[in-house]
Amino acid sequence: MEKIAIIHYHEIALKGKNRDFFEFALIKNLKKSLTEKNYEKIERLYGRVVVFLKDGFAKDEVSERIKNVFGVANFSFGYFGSLNLKELADQIFDHLPNKNPVSFRVTAKRSDKSYPKNSQQISAELGSFLIEKFEKKTKVDLKNPELNCFVEILSKETIFYFHKQKAYGGLPVGTSGKVVSLLSSGFDSPVASWKMMRRGAKVVFVHFHSYPYTKKTSYENVKKITSELNKYQFESKVYFVPFSEIQKEISTKCDSSQRVILYRRFMMRIAEKIAQDERAKALVAGDSLAQVASQTLDNIFVISEAVKIPILRPLIGENKEDIIELSKKIGTYEFSSQPYEDCCSLFLPKFPETHANLAKIVEMEKKLDILSMVSGAINKMEIWEIKNSVNC
Ligand code: ATP
Ligand code: MG
């Protein structure tokens, strides 16, 4: 029998006519995530995707890589072949993870409705073959079995497996369009970006830095964070935008308490320009309501007003502990907890505004040449790209 990984998905199946589009995207992403040394081919078979694995495939690595492909609801390692039910029972018995379970059941499903037996009949028949093989030492328990033998009957072929592993679900990256995410070196924005990817968005990153006025640590951390996040989207691009000229201009001409709001408005304007070039339809930021001074509703209102493009804030209703918990799960915690000098720590006011006033900010911005400040930064930005890493 051939060794396989069988991939199940929920939401994709719900998408009606778009089903082909979603399944192709899922397969394309699985191919990008899995290295060729581990698999022969990946095929669509009756509402599931089957990865045919090579002999000696690296199970832990394959498992990790499949889990990171959004759209996968759960998956299992199992076996595939053309067998009748008696032969199938023999094969199941030969491949049991435990030869002496206290109890077992067979959970069969047929995808080919022209198959002469229904799911219950298949389960019952396989069950009785197996009882014989267990020499009646193992009893059937439909409710809470120690061993569950999952069987799927396709057209001529059958699949069986014993464990289901949960993945992240969501939608394949690339199926929901593109967004530009403002990525700092902190905890929140990497998690916000990951959540957008899980909903099928391709994420392009932009990071603002004040190098050489601050150390290069945020720059280096952002590269490491992006490499972690790249495990979920397989190709990533970061725009590194020098921000110190803008900060200097703002701090010499504007009221110090308003600096952070003004910085953020410029970040949004630059990110909007990048989004236009990238044909991205939204920006993403890691704000969570009232978490810090810049994230009060008044400030969010004034910051958002600087641009027309929608700003998505997937963490707006999350608590910090939950965000940190998730950053540990997705792999960005280690890099987000590194000390870094944020560009906003440069010229930081003692008493930042928590209730920004739009009219006041617009008045203050009249002292600034917004267009040339934005284009000055854009002309000096650098692009860094990364493709899927070979090792997990
Ligand atoms: P994070 O943990 O993402 O740094 P934070 O809680 O520190 O967020 P702020 O510093 O107020 O919050 O930043 C709010 C959002 O603005 C960030 O989540 C991020 O999307 C964006 N942002 C802040 N600083 C930068 C930066 N240097 N480059 C790119 N985006 C930034
Ligand atoms: Mg921050």
10, pLDDT greater than 90: no
Ion ligand 2, residues whose Cβ is below 5 A away:
184, 186
210 phi/psi in degrees, rounded to 5: -110, 20
Distance 204 CA to ligand 2 centre (A): 18
Q: Which of 154-168, 218-232, 332-346 has the lowest mean pLDDT?
A: 332-346
State which ligand 1 atom lies nearest to the alpha carbon of 264: 16
Closest CA to ligand 1's atom 8: 188
Closest CA to ligand 1's atom 22: 184
Instruction: Pull the structure tokens for residue 370.
Output: 């917004």
**Exposure class string for 88-114: b at 16+ Cβ within 10 A, else e:** bbeebeeebeeeebeebbbebebeeee
Q: How confident is the model at residue 389 (pLDDT cuts 50, 70, 90)?
A: low
In this prediction, residue 340 carries a pLDDT of 66
Indicate if ligand 1 lies below 6 Å from the C-beta of 271. Answer: no
In this prediction, residue 62 carries a pLDDT of 96
Domain at 178-391: CATH code: 3.40.50.620
Best residue among 181, 185, 187, 188 to mutate for probing ligand 1, ranked by most atoms within 8 Å of CB: 188
392, pLDDT greater than 70: no
Indicate if ligand 1 lies below 6 Å from the C-beta of 285. Answer: yes
How many CB atoms within 10 Å of residue 215?
A: 14
Q: Quick check: pTM over 0.85?
A: yes
Distance 183 CA to ligand 2 centre (A): 9
Q: Per-residue pLDDT averaged across 318-342, rounded?
A: 91
Domain extents in the chain: 3-166, 178-391
Ligand (nearest to CA of 336): 1
Residue 234 identity: F
Ligand (nearest to CA of 288): 1
SS3 annotation, the chain: CEEEEEEECCHHHHHHHHHHHHHHHHHHHHHHHCCCCCEEEEEEECCEEEEEECCCCCHHHHHHHHHCCCCCCEEEEEEEECCCHHHHHHHHHHCCCCCCCCEEEEEEEECCCCCCCCHHHHHHHHHHHHHHHCCCCCEECCCCCCEEEEEEECCCCEEEECCCEECCCCECCCCCCEEEEECCCCCHHHHHHHHHHHECCEEEEEEEECCCCCCCHHHHHHHHHHHHHHHHHCEEEEEEEECHHHHHHHHHHCCHHHHHHHHHHHHHHHHHHHHHHHCCCCEECCCCCCCCHHHCHHHHHHHHCCCCCCEECCCCCCCHHHHHHHHHHHCCHHHHCCCCCCHHHCCCCCCCCCCCCHHHHHHHHCCCCHHHHHHHHHHCCEEEEEECCCCC
Q: Which of 61-70, 147-156, 175-184 has the lowest mean pLDDT?
A: 147-156
Q: Identify the CATH assignment for 3-166 out of 1.10.3720.10, 3.40.50.300, 3.40.50.10800, 3.30.2130.30.
A: 3.30.2130.30
Percent of the chain with pLDDT over 70: 95
Ligand (nearest to CA of 323): 1
Q: Are 26 and 49 in contact (CB under 8 A)?
A: yes
State which ligand 1 atom lies nearest to the alpha carbon of 343: 27
Q: Per-residue pLDDT averaged across 352-368, rounded?
A: 93
In this prediction, residue 219 carries a pLDDT of 86
Closest CA to ligand 1's atom 16: 285
Q: Rounded to an integer, what distance in angstroms lies between the CA atom of residue 170 and that of residue 141?
A: 33
CA dihedral 351, 356, 357, 361 (to 10 degrees): 80
246, pLDDT greater than 60: yes
CA dihedral 103, 121, 160, 20 (to 10 degrees): -140
177 phi/psi in degrees, rounded to 5: 95, -170
In this prediction, residue 19 carries a pLDDT of 84
Please state, rounded to an integer, the average pLDDT across all residues of the chain: 92
Q: Per-residue pLDDT averaged across 34-62, rounded?
A: 91
391, pLDDT greater than 60: no
In this prediction, residue 3 carries a pLDDT of 96
Instruction: Pull the structure tokens for residue 266.
Output: 């410029």
In this prediction, residue 14 carries a pLDDT of 62
Q: Per-residue pLDDT averaged across 51-68, rounded?
A: 95
Closest CA to ligand 1's atom 7: 186
Q: Which of 43-57, 114-128, 344-358 has the lowest mean pLDDT?
A: 344-358
Distance 186 CA to ligand 1 centre (A): 7
Indicate if ligand 1 lies below 6 Å from the C-beta of 13. Answer: no
Q: Rounded to an integer, what distance in angstroms lies between the CA atom of residue 95 and that of residue 116?
A: 26
In this prediction, residue 388 carries a pLDDT of 77
In this prediction, residue 13 carries a pLDDT of 55
In this prediction, residue 1 carries a pLDDT of 86
Q: Per-residue pLDDT averaged across 103-122, rounded?
A: 90
Distance 121 CA to ligand 1 centre (A): 58
Best residue among 180, 184, 340 to mutate for probing ligand 1, ranked by most atoms within 8 Å of CB: 184
Distance 272 CA to ligand 1 centre (A): 16
Q: How confident is the model at residue 11 (pLDDT cuts 50, 70, 90)?
A: low
Indicate if ligand 1 lies below 6 Å from the C-beta of 244. Answer: no
Instruction: Please state whether 251 falls in left (phi above 0), alpha (psi between -120 and 50) or beta.
Output: alpha
Distance 8 CA to ligand 1 centre (A): 36
Q: How confident is the model at residue 390 (pLDDT cuts 50, 70, 90)?
A: very low
Q: Are 106 and 127 in contact (CB under 8 A)?
A: yes
Distance 147 CA to ligand 2 centre (A): 48
Cross-strand bridge partners of residue 5 = 51, 77
For residues 35 and 2, which has the higher predicted lDDT (pLDDT)?
Answer: 2
